[in-house]
Amino acid sequence: MKTNIQGTTLTVAGIAELSATSSTTFRDETRAALTAAVTTLDIDLSLTTFVDSSGLGSLIALHKTMAGRGGALRIIKPTPTVVQILELTRLHRILEIVS
Amino acid sequence: MSDTTQQSSANALRALVICPDPQPDVPALSRRLPLVLTPFLGKTVLDHALTFLASEGVRDVRLLCSDRPDVIRAAVGGGEEWGVKVEVHAEKRELTVAEALAKHGNPVDAAPHAFVLDRLPQMPGAPLWDDYEGWMRAMLELLPVAGLDRVGSREMSPGVIVGLRSRISPTARLIGPCWVGANAFVGPKATLGPNTVVGDGAYIEGEALVERSVVGPDTYVGAMTEVRNSFAWGRQLLNLLNGSCIEISDRFLLHDLKPDLSIPGRMT
Amino acid sequence: MSLVQDIPIRPLSLGTPCELGVVREVCGRIRQFLAGCGMDAKELGELELALTEAGNNAVLYAKPEGRKLPVRYDVDVRGHHVEVRLFDHTPGFEFPERAELPDPEAESGRGLFLIQSLTDEAIYLRGRGENCLVLRKNWDFSRAVAAREEPKGSEVDRSQNVEDPARTLELMTEELASSFESLSAIFRFSAEVSASGNSPEFTRRWLNELLLITESDWFVLRMVDPRASMLRDVMHSFPDGAGAPTPLEPLFLTPTWRSSLPIELKAAIGRNDVPFDPGAPLGFQDPLAACGVAGTGFAHPMVVNDSLVGVLTVGRRDGTRAFQSGHASVIQTFADFFAIQTRSQQMQEERVQSMLTLRDLEIAATIQRSLLPEKLPSAPGIDLAGFYRSARVIGGDYYDVIPVEGGALLLVADVMGKGLPAALFAMMFRSLVRARTDLASRPGEFLAWLNTNLFRELDRAGMFITAQLAFCDVGRKEIRVAGAGHPPLLLAGDQGDVRETASGGPPIGILEASAFPEDVVVWKNSRLLMFTDGLIEARDPVGGLLGLEAAKGELAAAARGGLSGGETRDALSSLLVRFEKGTAPADDTAFIVMVTTHE
């Protein structure tokens, strides 16, 4: 997992999977990387091939974190597998997806 | 219709189709499937729209959906059936045309043709989701235009169109305008029409009466049952005049022959 | 020249420790396995996610004692679907018919929704101690199977067949020559085995001869135990000086999850020959490595009709002398022959040829265990004891005691039929009984109601249930009994006089409208015995039946001796043991003893 801040945007990329064993670390490390200036959190899921329900939970947790500080979370270029899961669980209605 | 034609041919063969969210005045239509997948003359509303867009030379369609995009994606695939590249894009909520153009329009190319699928592009004068009667009227309006489109459909008598492999009892009475889909069955002394649409694989028992109504695909209508001003789909019976909707539990009256969520107009 | 036809797709069974870290790994393995069976990436992804959710739940919610037990995944590829059964040791989940999505902002609670949405069928069977989640995903495997049946060019010899006919001929001649001796050996073996059967001495003699023929130094023959849980060393032979324990430790087929499996297990699980030589030596944990003789050789799984019979491993001390195809095929052929022989012998011994797979039986056994009451209730004036013994083939016997207002309902039932369907009907029967305890005081009416509610399903399945219900009315000091095609209830007074109740109506599921007359007996110093036919139909070694009179006699003796409920039960169970003299029971046996006393 790589984080990169440009201006007010924090990009998190290089995530292979978000599963029960990795999602808590992902959430906590992302939160730790959030500086006060960040208003947009871009989660790049272009390399992510697996997301389970705890992974979805971590995305929602971060979404709430961002909403709480007046910012926004975006899902960037999710793979078709991940899109399927986001849509199936109707999370496309609360998470911004940029393809 | 001529308006639309000019617009789309003028615009670089791309279309943004906004698939509407469930509509407050026709809640029952989106219960089983997203609105645009509602049965409509043996196909879905979306299917008719894509067929038309393809015939107008559109080669690239982006569907913007917020209600069950996964189901819509499963229904249209990549658009191979229409020879059109179809992409389904999930949105947080139903976009306006302006929002759709801002988000999905390409500044370099000419603006794509963008519209909300609340009326069919081939019938811009017939709103689909204002009320149940409007939906029914639009279907009857499309009947003379698209009623004979499908392979194997034949006009049995003026205004009466019957689809491939449907069996109609010689003693059944079909009064036009009346449209029956493929693989349907109509029993002895049943009466269908006027102003009636019966979906694919429906089974109308003997002496039943269906008038000014729509019978959905794979729906069983029992012997001597009368269906008037209604939309019967599976076990659901919707009164098109007052919008009341009930679930029929007596299997001999109305019944679902295929209780899974199959998409209308798909041969499985 | 394998004689056992290759079964195209074999089941996979994986036992994993109860840890979150291994869930993804095992789900990935299952994915890989199914990819090999021809499933598409999309379906694979969906099933993998559903399995991961289920696997995570099995770990996260395991009971403290359950954490020590493995989580097992069984994968069965059938014609048009794959079935995965996951066994967990949690207290069990509420499994709604259609799970709903939680609030969109909720951070958890989507697991069951995903499991149901991503599979074509999801059934959750709750048992005591162990639960089973059955997931099915539709996929047409038959095409993939057909493709796999065509020979692949994986073996060098075969691929050369196509390219070079001259070389092929040469190889065949060589193989034929080295096989001549072996072929004749095999013919002799098969002739002899049909005359003398697979006695251990016979097996040992032939295995030693096999070592001579194939110029090998040692063998280990392991057979699967009847429950298919482990491979036991039944026979081995090592050259003098090898430090092998006798017998070798058994190898468990499922509950270990190690990256370096012993080669015998690898062969058993993968159903393929697993070779070893100095280039690819045995793992240091491999029990064969400890025997100090491993040079080169291979482990060969013995499989008949898709089920594993055992593993034969043969080796040479000298690691440079690899097995040529001729010798290898003698060993394989011998092993396959031996496996068929062993299996057909086992089949003959089986009294009932069950159509069920062993795993189905396990599910049935789990269900059945969960039906029995954990502890019998106690009440003033009533002393209860229950007995249950399962036959090797699971049936549908069970007993129950349900305390209700004004007394208790005693119940013994026997579902006619075997295996999973019988166990499922027993479960259904039990839930229906538990649902209408308000009818307990009118057992005849209760049976009629049960018959009405079960008739259609039982009739369709061609099965029926016999049952005996007894309501002990504490207030009126009487016992009201009704039976449905069941052996009579026995009642003994304290003088040792024994009477039978009339057995009432027909079995449940025979006639749609049945009446079940009630019999009322007075509650005195009496001793009541309700049982399933397994008790009176117990057999001694020469096939004689225990019979009703013997049961009556034992009960009368218990009455005269004033034995308690527990003592009476023990007396009856020791009667069984004395009578059977070790004969394996053919049927389930269940009975309840109740002793009523004056206050």
A6-20, B162-176, C186-200, C443-457: range with lowest mean pLDDT: C186-200
Asked whether the predicted pLDDT for residue B149 surpasses 90, the reply is: no
Compute the average pLDDT of residues B132-153.
86
**Cβ of B69 under 8 Å from any chain A Cβ?**
yes
Are C466 and C486 contacting, i.e. CB atoms less than 8 angstroms apart? Answer: yes
Neighbours of C496 (CB within 10 A): 16
Confidence of residue B207 (pLDDT cuts 50, 70, 90): very high
Confidence of residue C147 (pLDDT cuts 50, 70, 90): low
**Cβ of B261 under 8 Å from any chain A Cβ?**
no
Are B129 and B26 contacting, i.e. CB atoms less than 8 angstroms apart? Answer: yes
pLDDT at position C554: 92
List of residues 6+ apart from B128 with CB closer than 8 A: B45, B117, B118, B119, B120, B134, B135, B138
The residue in chain A having the minimum alpha-carbon distance to the alpha carbon of residue C42 is A81
| Most A CBs within 10 Å, among B62, B68, B92, to test the A interface | B92
Chain A residues lying within 8 Å of C24, measured CB to CB: 17, 19, 21, 50
Nearest CB to A93; choose among B70, B89, B92: B92
Shortest Cα distance, chain B CAs vs residue A39, angstroms: 20
CB contact under 8 A, A57 and C108: yes
CB contact under 8 A, C104 and A56: no
C64-73, C247-256, C562-571: range with lowest mean pLDDT: C247-256
Shortest Cα distance, chain A CAs vs residue C110, angstroms: 6
Shortest Cα distance, chain A CAs vs residue C170, angstroms: 51
Compute the average pLDDT of residues C167-196.
54
Nearest CB to A88; choose among C23, C24, C117: C117
Asked whether the predicted pLDDT for residue B5 surpasses 50, the reply is: no
CB contact under 8 A, C114 and A93: no
CATH assignment, B2-145: 3.90.550.10
Residue-wise pLDDT tens digits, A36-77: 999 999 999 999 989 999 999 999 999 999 999 999 999 999
Q: For C12-149, which CATH class? A: alpha beta
**Chain A partners (3+ C-beta pairs within 8 A):** B, C
Q: Among all chains, which residue has been given the structure tokens 């999602």?
A: A23
Chain A residues lying within 8 Å of C111, measured CB to CB: 52-53
Compute the average pLDDT of residues C187-208.
67
**Cβ of C22 under 8 Å from any chain A Cβ?**
no
List of residues 6+ apart from C280 with CB closer than 8 A: none
What is the value of ipTM here, to two decimals?
0.91
**Chain B partners (3+ C-beta pairs within 8 A):** A
Asked whether the predicted pLDDT for residue C1 surpasses 50, the reply is: no
Nearest-angstrom CA–CA distance, A51 and A19? 6
Shortest Cα distance, chain C CAs vs residue A52, angstroms: 6
pLDDT at position C263: 87
Q: So what's the architecture of C156-349 in CATH? A: 2-Layer Sandwich (3.30)
CB contact under 8 A, A21 and C21: yes
Neighbours of B226 (CB within 10 A): 14
**Cβ of A83 under 8 Å from any chain C Cβ?**
no
Q: Which amino acid belongs to residue B72?
A: I
CB pairs under 8 A between A and C: 61
pLDDT at position C354: 46
Report domain extents, chain C.
Answer: 12-149, 156-349, 358-596
In chain B the first and final C-alpha atoms are separated, in Å, by 33
Report domain extents, chain B.
Answer: 2-145, 151-256
A34-48, B171-185, B186-200, C496-510: range with lowest mean pLDDT: C496-510
A23-32, B193-202, C178-187: range with lowest mean pLDDT: C178-187
pLDDT at position C313: 92
Length of chain A in terms of residues written = 99
Length of chain B in terms of residues written = 268
Compute the average pLDDT of residues C545-552.
89
Which CATH number is correct for C358-596, 3.60.40.10, 3.40.1410.10, 1.20.1090.10, 1.10.1740.10? 3.60.40.10
Asked whether the predicted pLDDT for residue C437 surpasses 90, the reply is: no
Inter-CA distances, A31 with A6, A9, A95, B62, Å = 16, 13, 17, 35
Interaxial angle between packed helices C165-196 and C156-163, expressed in degrees from 0 to 180 and rounded to the nearest 10: 130
Are C555 and C492 contacting, i.e. CB atoms less than 8 angstroms apart? Answer: yes
Shortest Cα distance, chain A CAs vs residue B198, angstroms: 31
Residues 19-78 in A contacting C (C-alpha not used; CB under 8 Å): 19-21, 49-50, 52-54, 56-58, 60-61, 64
The residue in chain C having the minimum alpha-carbon distance to the alpha carbon of residue A51 is C49
CB contact under 8 A, A52 and C45: no
**Cβ of B22 under 8 Å from any chain A Cβ?**
no
- Could you tell me which residue, C432 or C226, shows the higher pLDDT? C432
Q: Among all chains, which residue has been given the structure tokens 């369907």?
A: C421
CB contact under 8 A, B90 and A83: yes
Mean pLDDT of chain C: 79
Residue-wise pLDDT tens digits, C263-288: 888 888 888 888 888 878 887 778 88
Confidence of residue C463 (pLDDT cuts 50, 70, 90): confident
Chain C residues lying within 8 Å of A19, measured CB to CB: 23-24, 52
Mean pLDDT of chain A: 92
> Which DSSP letter does residue C117 get?
H
CATH assignment, B151-256: 2.160.10.10
Nearest CB to A52; choose among C53, C106, C107: C53
Shortest Cα distance, chain A CAs vs residue B65, angstroms: 10
Confidence of residue C197 (pLDDT cuts 50, 70, 90): low
Asked whether the predicted pLDDT for residue B248 surpasses 60, the reply is: yes
Residue-wise pLDDT tens digits, C31-52: 988 988 888 888 999 999 999 9
**Cβ of B94 under 8 Å from any chain A Cβ?**
no
B97-111, B155-169, C193-207: range with lowest mean pLDDT: C193-207
Residue-wise pLDDT tens digits, C107-136: 888 999 999 999 998 988 887 778 889 999
- Could you tell me which residue, B265 or C290, shows the higher pLDDT? C290
- 3-class secondary-structure state, position C547: helix
List of residues 6+ apart from A76 with CB closer than 8 A: A11, A42, A43, A44, A45, A46, A98
Q: So what's the architecture of A2-98 in CATH? A: 2-Layer Sandwich (3.30)
Strands (E), C485-536: 490-493, 498-500, 519-522, 526-531
Asked whether the predicted pLDDT for residue C151 surpasses 50, the reply is: no
Asked whether the predicted pLDDT for residue C140 surpasses 80, the reply is: yes
Nearest-angstrom CA–CA distance, C382 and C385? 10
Q: What percent of chain C has pLDDT over 70?
A: 80
Range among B181-195, C182-196, C217-231 with highest mean pLDDT value? B181-195
Q: What percent of chain C has pLDDT over 90?
A: 18
B17-26, B143-152, C14-23, C489-498: range with lowest mean pLDDT: B143-152
Range among B206-215, C98-107, C121-130 with highest mean pLDDT value? B206-215
**Cβ of C103 under 8 Å from any chain A Cβ?**
no
Chain B residues lying within 8 Å of A97, measured CB to CB: 90
Strands (E), C260-381: 274-276, 296-304, 307-316
Residue-wise pLDDT tens digits, C353-391: 444 455 556 666 666 666 777 777 777 778 888 888 876
The residue in chain A having the minimum alpha-carbon distance to the alpha carbon of residue B74 is A84
Q: Which amino acid belongs to residue B131?
A: D
